[in-house]
């Protein structure tokens, strides 16, 4: 699978639609600051994974603090997409989960995962 950041695919749209999370003093253990959420999509036309990787960027240091995978379809979609097989990897496609494998997670990755679980559950426009 090939992936690209949304700003590489649609730079103008990404400029207006990229979300930035402003974290206040001592919120959820995450350091105070501005954190753009950069979307990273699969671009393989033969793949229909319907999943995005959300890269949380520390605006000050320009380092990624966490990479969270997010699948917005029902679990049954991902099971069907995986030829009927349901395992822990496929369960991780549904909803927010820390992205494993090729991505390095930052010190506050678990805190970011918990933050995004709440954020994604209430921001229907973003979904």
CB distance 19 to 36 below 8 Å: yes
pTM above 0.85, yes or no: yes
**Of 100, 98, 49, 117, nearest to 77 (Cα)?**
49
- Per-residue pLDDT tens for 49-81? 899 999 999 999 999 999 999 998 999 999 999
Average pLDDT over residues 86-113: 88
Q: For residue 124, what pLDDT band results from cuts at 50, 70 and 90?
A: confident
Average pLDDT over residues 75-100: 89
The domains of the chain are located at: 3-120
- How far apart (Å, rounded) are the C-alpha atoms in residues 70 and 49? 11
């Amino acid at each position: 699978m090939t992936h690209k950041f949304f700003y590489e695919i649609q730079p103008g749209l990404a400029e207006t639609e990229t979300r930035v999370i402003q974290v206040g003093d001592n919120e959820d253990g995450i350091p105070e600051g501005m954190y753009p959420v950069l979307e990273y999509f699969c671009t393989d036309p033969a793949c229909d994974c319907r999943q995005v990787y959300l890269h949380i960027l520390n605006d000050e240091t320009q380092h990624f603090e966490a990479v969270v995978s997010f699948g917005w379809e029902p679990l049954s979609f991902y099971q069907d997409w995986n030829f009927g097989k349901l395992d822990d990897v496929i369960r991780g496609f549904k909803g927010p989960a820390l992205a494993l494998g090729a991505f390095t997670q930052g010190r506050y990755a678990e805190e970011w995962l918990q933050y995004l679980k709440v954020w994604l559950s209430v921001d229907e426009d973003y979904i």
